[in-house]
Chains A and B, each alone.
Chain A
């Protein structure tokens, strides 16, 4: 759609939505939120850009090749973290006994396995929503 108000407002507000989404993903083990809601907030910013500027510019910003690689990379990262526990001699996906660094309670870099798993889930959910939207619009 060709509306001047929508285009200017989208260009001004887009970085704040993305920073808020990244904040919710990174602080997933300290405050409410986590991987799923942070990924959905980050994907909403790219869907807003596609709605305001048209499908061609939206696909140039996030092409199909990059989003499919991010999605498969997220799942492989999750499984790779699980295999670290097997290499140390413990069951799949162990946290404290397999040697992940635990920090202090309440800091961002703490709790071993949990921030990495949260980032993997956030990337996966974000690429799923963006790929769904572009696929349904591109058909025809």
Chain B
């Protein structure tokens, strides 16, 4: 009974999502609204401004380098949370005792 209810609700959600494909612009056309003058500016002017041939690397490290700095902060915060939760302590005394006895 529970599983039937779950299947019905998820099936209804899938039908609603699939019916919205007809509202999207067709995939792969050059005159989509998402291929506007910002992308054309990046493609035309990235060789003279930055001097690198990889356009995506020029975008994330030169034009928008501040966002990459924020993202390394997210990585740092994640690992600080993990280390503070698990609580790694270093038993330096125990290791020296083992070396002396062994």
In the complex, which of the residues B54, B62, B78, B86 contacts A31, with contact meaning CB atoms closer than 8 Å? B54
Q: Is A89 an interface residue (CB 8 A)?
A: no
Q: A95-B50, A124-B75 are in contact. Are A29 and B65 (CB under 8 A)?
A: no
In contact, B75 and A102 (Cβ under 8 angstroms)? no
Q: How large is the interface on B (under 10, 10 to 19, 20 to 34, 35 or more residues)?
A: 20 to 34
Bits for B52-68, please: 1 = Cβ < 8 Å to A, else 0. Answer: 11101110111001101
Chain B, 41-81, CB within 8 A of any chain A CB: 47, 49-54, 56-58, 60-62, 65-66, 68-69, 72-73, 75-76, 78-79
In the complex, which of the residues B57, B66, B90 contacts A28, with contact meaning CB atoms closer than 8 Å? B57
In the complex, which of the residues B50, B53, B61, B65 contacts A96, with contact meaning CB atoms closer than 8 Å? B50
Give the docked Cα–Cα distance between A121 and B67 (Å): 13
In the complex, which of the residues B51, B68, B83, B90 contacts A102, with contact meaning CB atoms closer than 8 Å? B51
In contact, A75 and B54 (Cβ under 8 angstroms)? no
In contact, A121 and B82 (Cβ under 8 angstroms)? no
Q: Which residues of B contact A34 (CB under 8 A)?
A: 54, 56-57, 60-61
